[in-house]
Amino acid sequence: MNIQKSVLIFLLICSVSTFVLAQNNKTKKADATFNAGEYYKASEMYQKLYSKAGTKIFKAELGFKLGECYRHMNIPRKAEKWYKKAVRYKYQDPMSILYLADAMKMNEKYPEAKTEYERYRDVVPD
């Protein structure tokens, strides 16, 4: 019985490791696409990854990257949506807060933008 449990645990660990490596390779491909300036294609790749993301940390990272795609494509409504997700999942780079505020401002959501600018100021003092 213990051998069966050990084999089952080993197989589970192997399958999880394979899944993580596959996600990492797909993330690298999406990053390369983004770095090549192909923001629309990168956004599609990131969205597929986001739909399968398991951790909040990974969702935060992908949310920020999607926000960046839409910021570069000058689509502030979608940029705002994804930066909000990055901030909600506590993305570590405070630029996510600043870019969220910028997107809100572009979307004429001035009171909300002001709140985010103030939050950014509190996180990154002069």
For the question of whether the overall pTM of this predicted structure is more than 0.85, the answer is no
Inform me whether the pLDDT recorded for 40 exceeds 80: yes
More confident residue, 7 or 108: 108
Superfamily of domain 2-123: Tetratricopeptide repeat domain (1.25.40.10)
Q: H/E/C letters for each residue in the chain?
A: CHHHHHHHHHHHHHHHHHHHHHHHHHHHHHHHHHHCCCHHHHHHHHHHHHHHCCCHHHHHHHHHHHHHHHHHCCCHHHHHHHHHHHHHCCCCCCHHHHHHHHHHHHCCCHHHHHHHHHHHHHHCCC
Q: Provide the percentage of residues in the chain whose pLDDT is more than 70.
A: 83
Tell me: the pLDDT tens digits for 71-114? 999 999 999 999 999 999 999 999 999 999 999 999 999 999 99
